[in-house]
Amino acid sequence: MDMTMVDCRKFVEVLASNEPAPGGGGAAALVGAIGTALGNMVGSLTVGKKKYADVEEEIIALKAKCDALQKDLLDQVEADEINFVPLAKAYGIPKDDPNRDTIMEEATMVACSTPVKIMELCCEAMEAIAVFAEKGSRLAVSDAGCGAVCVKAALQAASLNVFINTKTLKNREVAEEMNAKCLGMLDKYGKMADEIFETVKAGFFK
Mean pLDDT of the chain: 96
For residue range 11-65, what is the model confidence (pLDDT) as tens digits?
Answer: 999 999 998 888 999 999 999 999 999 999 999 999 999 999 999 999 999 999 9
All domains of the chain, ordered by start, with CATH?
20-203 (1.20.120.680)
With a threshold of 0.85, does the pTM exceed it? yes
- 9 burial via Cβ count (<10 Å: 0-12, 13-18, 19+): exposed
pLDDT 10s digits, 120-169: 999 999 999 999 999 999 999 999 999 999 999 999 999 999 999 999 99
